[in-house]
Structure 1
């Protein structure tokens, strides 16, 4: 009990202020000079500045051109464009390229929000089909970005608890940066209290935000040309996205769940009630291309969350909490449906803190796996992961010792495929 109190006190001290977001370590696929996602971007903006879209149900106040977003929910969905600077001071692209393609133990550069430019506001619960002219103009701007991108999918990033607007926006921006800036990313900013001591606020507001998330996805599917809408819901972001996806997976008069074109859904270290998460998964499963959950059974944040919430978390699940039917469904889903469970164990991942909660972007192997899933829709075996099976028959995946060798082979295959496609395109254009 004393040990737990000391750990909690340390976390409270750490959460007293929001630390800056620093550029995450370069994924392993960027550390080999032969493979570079930046090279795949025909319209690469060689600048230390980067843009991401955003949407929020936070209550806003102040001037409409530059509102401040509170920690409380409002009755509108506000959408805009954020501009960030990596490193600050107008650093050169050559400097940022070096930071992005080399392993470095030095302090990583900060991601700083320069501006949050509001574009449109729609009422929550309003019409999905007729959101208004400003919203339609905003969706056209997303289409313009998609037309310039190598990746035709739109990815929504849903942040975790204890996260400010600036921090959540920066996290989305660094993910976009390491797609080679090939992907269009939208950060969904739900009303976190931005303080660990108010975690109960975050739990409450995350659950209440699910309808707003579902409305946003439906509007994006209805009014943009995105091939698929992908979702990355980190930590407590799963409390928003999982029930939101369950709503999207529920048919209704005049609404077909297939119309939202869900692509890859990724839950890294999901801080959501395990039993509820499994029930929600059953409600929407079959509509996304694949659903992936990555867990660390020693995740220290989820240990504390379980004590607070009195139930195991989806990112650190206790299978004994499931009834026989749900347990059997999980086994069958892992074996034959488009559901993947990945174990991120420190013993398999060199240099990883065994209690890590941030492994999905902090460890170069795991972040590489995320990119291969989201950008190329590869299944785990195609990404170089190793298949395992528990005594109960649950299939799960781990990172093998020769992962880097497997990763090189995967990237070599992508390069060969891209070269063959380029030759075919050139041949077609000359006919």
Structure 2
């Protein structure tokens, strides 16, 4: 059965539920679906049918009552074929088995790299499919390991590729897309043992913790962590802290409340990484609202009682931090010197941060221009000119632009100061020195 026909049949099956959600708005959609079914039955040109169905889906996604249901349908159809094939007779998916040896692997034939992402999360459990293993509601701190496959051929550096329903890609292709393959929960002791053994087998005994921002699912956070590990050529082990973002653009204030609630859980996860797994250094990349959990945790780092031989904080990267600039400056003074180096990436073209400033009334620490944050002990990098093709309009520029990924590689792998990184030039003056990308 073609993907077009599968989608058409799935929408027809959803008809009664969409009718309940849309009420008087539904009849035209129902009639159009019936018409499309008739055209399919008459063997109409597949390309014409596909374009008509495409337009119908776009309109349904613009209907708020139906949007979530249709988005869920698209996600189900885009789920990896392997995951769909494990559906049991009860209609659920068998929980994935955590691999005995958790190490990165490379398929030499396809160039696909599979990365273990050791996670901590305070999200509530969802179902047993990898895409919805954790939802957006708050839960308790849990640990485990996820497997993420990342193609290295035919994918641009920084690109977080996924199936495009408007291209009628309903099945994830490991050779084209970054895929969350499995998610497996582990008890605390098993998590520590598994991570410690995996790290001992690595060529580099450092770990990298990624903390995502607002409006991010667990699936996309894990995919981004895997993509960063591959594109940064990180030779240690990759960790993810996924706080319970609602993953809904309409729930910004809900996420704000949750990131504050999540701080103690992130602190416990960071202490575990520093003190229990045999790491050399712990590096952190925090994005957007996720910076709040990190910076509020670092405020208390000097009071921690870590065991002898604990790891040190290496590179801390604040990427596009959505936190009050004045509050950032206050806290930065308290954690000065806690890490080998602290770096702040800012942009004057980041529309998400400009919107946040509009909501809060004060500049955000991730803004550049007149609001650029320059603090003693932090290397501030103005990324506004990193790409003239509207880079700043995309809040995730930190993980998607080659120049910034190269710069983070030089930071983490090479431990280079800004004055030794070729793409950067000194800006400002002696009292307010920062760095910017060469035009």
TM-score where L is the length of structure 2: 0.67
169, 192, 211: which one pairs with 2:264?
A: 211
1:149 Cα deviation after fit? 2.4
- Give the alignment's Cα RMSD to 1 decimal: 3.5
Q: Give the SS at the match of 2:268.
A: helix
| Partner of residue 297, structure 1 | 348
| Partner of residue 417, structure 2 | 379
Q: Does 1:84 align with 2:159?
A: no
Q: Give the SS at the match of 1:195.
A: coil
Larger CA deviation: 206-215 vs 350-359? 350-359
Write the deviation string for residues 79-127 of structure 1: whole angstroms up to 9, x where unpaired.
10101234xxxxxxxxx443357899x999322222110012xxxxxxx
| Partner of residue 186, structure 2 | 119
Write the deviation string for residues 279-303 of structure 1: whole angstroms up to 9, x where unpaired.
1221212111111001001211101
| Partner of residue 57, structure 1 | 122
Distance, in Å, in 1 between the alignment partners of 2:244 and 2:265 is: 12
| Partner of residue 397, structure 1 | 435
1:257/1:200 CA distance change after superposition, 3 Å: farther
Distance, in Å, in 1 between the alignment partners of 2:333 and 2:309 is: 15
1:102/1:302 CA distance change after superposition, 3 Å: closer
1:239 Cα deviation after fit? 1.6
Distance, in Å, in 2 between the alignment partners of 1:245 and 1:258 is: 19
Q: Does 1:180 align with 2:233?
A: yes
Matched residues, number: 329
133, 151, 154: which one pairs with 1:99?
A: 154
1:46 Cα deviation after fit? 1.5
Contact 2:322–2:356 (CA under 8 A) maintained in structure 1: yes
Matches within 5 A, 1:29-48: 45-47=105-107, 48=112
| Partner of residue 366, structure 2 | 315
Distance, in Å, in 1 between the alignment partners of 2:421 and 2:321 is: 21
Please, which runs of 5 or more residues in structure 1 have no aligned partner? 1-9, 22-42, 87-95, 121-134, 322-326, 402-431
Write the deviation string for residues 133-173 of structure 1: whole angstroms up to 9, x where unpaired.
xx233222212222232332111100011000101010001
Q: Give the SS at the match of 1:176.
A: helix
Distance, in Å, in 2 between the alignment partners of 1:100 and 1:66 is: 22
265, 269, 279: which one pairs with 2:320?
A: 269
Distance, in Å, in 2 between the alignment partners of 1:285 and 1:115 is: 39
| Partner of residue 428, structure 1 | none
Q: Does 1:196 align with 2:235?
A: no
1:243/1:319 CA distance change after superposition, 3 Å: farther
1:103/1:279 CA distance change after superposition, 3 Å: closer
* Greater C-alpha Rg: 2
| Partner of residue 193, structure 2 | 140
Distance, in Å, in 2 between the alignment partners of 1:246 and 1:68 is: 32
| Partner of residue 123, structure 1 | none
Write the deviation string for residues 30-72 of structure 1: whole angstroms up to 9, x where unpaired.
xxxxxxxxxxxxx972233332111101233668x99942323
